[in-house]
Amino acid sequence: MTSILHVPAANQLLAALPSVERQAFMADCETVELTFGEVLFQPAETVTHVYFPLDSFISLIVVIDGENRLEVAMAGQEGMLGTSLVLGIEEAPLLALVQGAGTALRMTAANFQQRLLDSPVLHQRLKRYLYVVMHQLAKSSACNHFHQIEGRLARWLLMTQDRAGTDQLQLTHEFLAMMLGVRRSGVTISARALQTRGLIRYHRGAIEVLDRQGLIEASCECYNEDRELYAKVLSDL
Amino acid sequence: MTSILHVPAANQLLAALPSVERQAFMADCETVELTFGEVLFQPAETVTHVYFPLDSFISLIVVIDGENRLEVAMAGQEGMLGTSLVLGIEEAPLLALVQGAGTALRMTAANFQQRLLDSPVLHQRLKRYLYVVMHQLAKSSACNHFHQIEGRLARWLLMTQDRAGTDQLQLTHEFLAMMLGVRRSGVTISARALQTRGLIRYHRGAIEVLDRQGLIEASCECYNEDRELYAKVLSDL
DNA sequence: TCATCTCTGTGCGCTGACGAACATGGGGTG
DNA sequence: CACCCCATGTTCGTCAGCGCACAGAGATGA
């Protein structure tokens, strides 16, 4: 399917580094295959590796009251996993669940800490990324509180599409319900509404985005704001 | 009211520093009086100063859809304002509103950046604080989503009491409604319930905590979890 | 003392989402 | 081919919280 000269998707946090530093960094990484449903971090567990997704992506999930779950962030080729190590903390705060199978670059925590010391450019860039994540966390707190399911579902599908890099998403309503922290049948109702309007089409665990622009209009404004923030803080440098 | 030998409340982030560093740091600070309702940062505005509250405290608020508001964090003598500068970002992500009048130490952004370079101990401690805030942001996202008003109100009162250092809080239901992102009359109902159970007493803009332990039991578990996290990450060092 | 303003109490109908349950039907397995 | 599982469709009653509106009561100021 891919061309013979296929260049593996690059991680955006690393792509912008000066060539020398990037190659030094990547020399310390190994490439790993992540499978759907794999748990990379458990809350309060020690972080042994950081991950830079290439074509995989990972959900960061809060577990509350022992049963309720809510996705609060997502990391794909635009981000990384293990941000707490940027702050020098070796503990994972959240559940990290592989939501899109694929490859990622991985480095040990110790090597990563050393790389941060060696490369101010990298360090600076990752601090900016951390700022973006923090800001998004705060805003999505309000989004989850005030916005209703349909808009949040549309936003979530768009975010996933961006990271999966395809219109075809492998997702059940059940899974979406867990991500959004709502009932399964609540997702069904909203998904049907989006399908009726011709924005998506779905069938037994597969969702296809038909009208991306329409979906953006159906989503809450948070989607655009998130992208603008990322672009503003991480475009240059 | 205070004794002649009154020692001003110390800021916990600074209190644990080695004496030499602390004094050097504080020499660069000025003491400022913060008044209720004062806005220290507007979202997207440049951060000119960082603040270390002594007996004042500040709410960090997300404004969404131009009208809805939701408090996502609070900073008192246990924390600081202007955390984005710890990451080297000179932009404030959130609305910072003085919620408890009092004093704070203040330092210019430029001096602060220099101090971080000069004092690894300070830097390390502030990164730990940042980790706590991030973790709390993520969890309160779920709290705001799943927990109901009464538990959240109780939690909020406790957090405020901790930072105000008194049982007497100056708060209207209207204000509480804004913090929690709910209707004013929703707060009235929950507040009455807490009062009926003898946990608090209130009257026209003044709330008194009568039974702190009972209030903790009425609050969602998030209150205890927040405190434990702070203690775990910032107690030592 | 009176007028006014602010804070709180309370009522109404409404809606979004809940929890639980059952129906349907496509797909994969044996 | 038969079977079963699993994803989705749908319903029912319930509930928390909404938006709005108004009433009463304490505070404030003229």
Which among A84, A87, A140 has CB closest to B141?
A140
Integer Cα distance of A170 and A160 in angstroms: 10
Whole-number pLDDT of residue A8: 56
3-state secondary structure (DSSP) of residue B66:
coil
Q: Which of residues 145-174 of A touch B (CB under 8 A)?
A: 145-146
Whole-number pLDDT of residue B9: 65
Q: Three-class SS string for A102-160?
A: EEEEEEEHHHHHHHHHHCHHHHHHHHHHHHHHHHHHHHHHHHHHHCCHHHHHHHHHHHH
CA–CA distances in Å: residue A23 to residues A10, A26, A115, A170, B102: 12, 5, 12, 34, 52
In contact, B125 and B13? CB cutoff 8 Å: yes
Low-confidence ranges of chain B (pLDDT < 50): 1-7
Integer Cα distance of B179 and B203 in angstroms: 19
Low-confidence ranges of chain A (pLDDT < 70): 1-9, 236-237
Nearest to A74 by CA among A17, A159, A184: A159
In contact, B105 and B31? CB cutoff 8 Å: yes
Give the closest nucleotide to A184 (alpha carbon vs C1').
Answer: D8
Task: Please tell me the total number of residues recorded for chain B in this structure.
Answer: 237
Integer Cα distance of A104 and A30 in angstroms: 8
How many C-beta atoms lie closer than 10 Å to residue A175's C-beta?
Answer: 17
CA–CA distances in Å: residue B187 to residues A113, A147, B171, B195, B214: 47, 20, 12, 12, 18
Whole-number pLDDT of residue A235: 85
Q: What are φ and ψ of residue A82, in 5° steps?
A: 105, 30
Listed by start position, the domains of chain A span 12-144, 148-219
Task: Please tell me the total number of residues recorded for chain A in this structure.
Answer: 237
* Amino acid A54 CA to nucleotide D19 C1' distance, rounded Å: 47
**Chain A interface, best mutation among B45, B59, B64, B237, by max A CB count within 10 A:** B64
Whole-number pLDDT of residue A236: 64
Determine the CATH number of domain A148-219. Answer: 1.10.10.10
* Statement: the CB of B188 is under 7 Å from strand C: yes
Nearest to A40 by CA among A26, A61, A54: A61
Whole-number pLDDT of residue B235: 85
Question: CATH: 3.40.50.10860, 3.30.200.20, 3.40.50.880, 2.60.120.10. Which one for B12-144?
Answer: 2.60.120.10
